[in-house]
Chain A
Amino acid sequence: MSTTEETLMLAREIAGAWDWATEVVQPEENRLDVYLKNPDDLVAIVTGLRVKRLGYLAAITGLDLGTEAGELEVLYHFCAGAAVITLRVRLNRQETAVASLSELIPSAEPYERELREMYGVTINGLVAPNYLYLPDDWPTGVYPMRRDFDPQSLLAGDGARTVTE
């Protein structure tokens, strides 16, 4: 794969194989956003990228689209040279669940653990029981990167740690 255009072309081809399940947008010259209509297709499409040896998983970004939208968005950035191919999955805030990529891509594990802790996304198939970043006494069901996170909630009640004078 020599140039950015060729890489993006190949990515379009791969996404095209699932054209009923994806929507492809090119927001910048070197970037391609692939929106997945159903989170269940994630593993299949990532397998497609792997089979074609297209790039490496550079990061997983979580986004909270707000309580009104009621959705979270997860972005999987695959980089090859200057090209960035982003797979985008939307999840319901109430029942967030997405398949783990760590079987396919071992280096996905720390990103997925961060996503789980900070955004409360359930990662199905991720074998890592404890926290990577948060302290052991962090209250359950509190996700610091969500928009409705209230730092005050850590100070009192709800089984959270208590601050003693």
Chain B
Amino acid sequence: MQIDQQRERFTIPIGPQHPALKEPGHFRFTVDGEIVTDATVRLGYAHRGLEKLAEKQNWVQNIYLFERVCGICSHIHSTAYCLGVERLAGVAAPPRAQAIRTLVGELERIHSHLLWLGVSAHEAGFDTLFMFSWRDRETIMDLLEAFTGNRVNYSLNVLGGVKVDMTDELAKTVLAGLDFLEERTHHYLEVVSKDTSFLQRTRGVGVMTRHQAEVLGVVGPTARASGVTRDIRHEAPYAAYVDFPVRVVVDDRGDLEARFVVRMKELLESYRLVREILANLPDGDLTVRMPRRIKAGETVSRVEAPRGELLYFLKSNGTDTPERVHARTPTICNMASVVRLAVGHQLADVPLILAGIDPCFSCNDR
């Protein structure tokens, strides 16, 4: 006697009011029992039409607009934009300004990675790590506030340079903060690579091979955790990365554990870079004069945001308003990997796989 086993398949809609994340995204997971067999994503719930708005604002106003694409990596957005506009105008910001941009870029990366550690630990059910990492993140937030006056949206960049200068006194405070954070990061690195119950959630989960990573076009730490050596700071150094080269952190394992380890090691690398920049900060002016109207032309400006490669395409028609500003943010590249990687995993692993790419929905929904 043959029994026809009819397998029932359910589609589970998750979001846009997301149970796991604080930002809106809509996912549909088709499950067979507990195993995900298909996944789709829908975005746009926080779309603000910034690229359209940019066509109506002048070049200066747009710095502040694009700084608000994302609340976590705001500085890198305005840096990418300013570097692009400066290149179009044929102007280069002075070395001291470039070093300060790089410095704040690294401080921002530290804050972003620590924030991500907390969010991911929370998704893994490890709330103690979440609380500790966010407590420590306050150190870097306080330093950023002391330096720029703001916790987020630092408003540091202007076209042709930066607004605030680093003083010796402040540099000492930053170094003291980094010493504390470095000690803590070594501890976190040990936790994410040794804690047995945590490793059960991360080791061998969401594995993305190097080949898959290249095909799916992932960027940033997500790609580097799969053995892809892709870091714009290294490949196409911008701002002061020519003078302060970065050592790219790569891990071949490709699972969630590797993504934790890569980001923790990148924190250590950022501390080293910040120290090096502070020790060798070039002297000189903070700004150069920029024309109001930007020469007609096009340029592509690429930088390494905390989540990966950020690409700006700028087109000027010779007026004080851009013809087109296109921002391709790293989460767009990485989001496709989530829907592919989720297939075959337990539904309960999906929140952590999603958190593993460090998703930023406001980056997606410019």
Contact = CB atoms under 8 A, between A and B. Distances in A.
A111 interface: yes
Given A82-B236, A105-B217, A111 B332 contact: yes
B332 A134 contact: no
Interface in B236-265: 236
Given A133-B47, A134-B44, A107 B215 contact: yes
Interface residues of B, number: 33
Contacts of B302: 58, 79, 84
B52 A82 contact: no
Given A31-B300, A110-B332, A130 B216 contact: no
A18 interface: no
A97 B255 CA distance: 39
Interface in B312-366: 313, 315, 323-324, 326, 328, 332-333, 335-336, 365
A70 interface: no
Interface of A: 27-28, 30-31, 56-59, 61-63, 75, 77, 79, 81-82, 84, 86, 105-107, 109-111, 130-135, 144-145, 149
Contact of A106 (B216, B297, B332, B365): B216
A82 B303 CA distance: 11
A132 B44 contact: yes
Nearest to A107: B217
Contact of B299 (A28, A58, A79, A130): A28
Which residue, A77, A81, A84, A107, has most C-beta atoms of chain B within 10 A?
A: A107
A111 B300 CA distance: 17
Contacts of A75: 313
A125 to B, nearest CB: 17
Contacts of B328: 58-59, 61, 111
B49 A144 contact: yes
Nearest to A33: B298
Contact of B311 (A59, A82, A134): A59
A61 B145 CA distance: 35
Interface of B: 41-44, 47, 49, 51-52, 87, 214-217, 235-236, 297-300, 302, 309, 311, 313, 315, 323-324, 326, 328, 332-333, 335-336, 365
A133 B300 contact: no
Contacts of A77: 300, 311, 313
A61 B52 CA distance: 13
Nearest to B214: A56
B235 A133 contact: no
A56 B336 CA distance: 15
Contacts of A134: 44
Contacts of A57: 217
B324 A63 contact: yes
B300 to A, nearest CB: 5
B336 A106 contact: yes
14 contacts: A27-B298, A57-B217, A58-B309, A59-B328, A61-B328, A84-B302, A86-B300, A107-B216, A107-B217, A110-B335, A131-B42, A131-B44, A144-B49, A145-B51
Nearest to A130: B42
B44 A30 contact: no
Given A133-B47, A145-B51, A59 B336 contact: no
A106 B335 CA distance: 12
A87 to B, nearest CB: 13
A109 B336 contact: yes
Contacts of A86: 300
A109 B300 CA distance: 21
A82 B216 contact: no
Contacts of B41: 132
Nearest to B299: A28
A79 B304 CA distance: 14
B337 to A, nearest CB: 9
A125 B245 CA distance: 43
Contacts of A133: 43-44, 47, 365
B138 to A, nearest CB: 34
Contact of B313 (A27, A59, A131): A59
Contacts of A27: 297-298
Nearest to A105: B217
Given A57-B217, A75-B313, A81 B236 contact: yes
Contacts of A63: 315, 323-324
Contacts of A109: 336
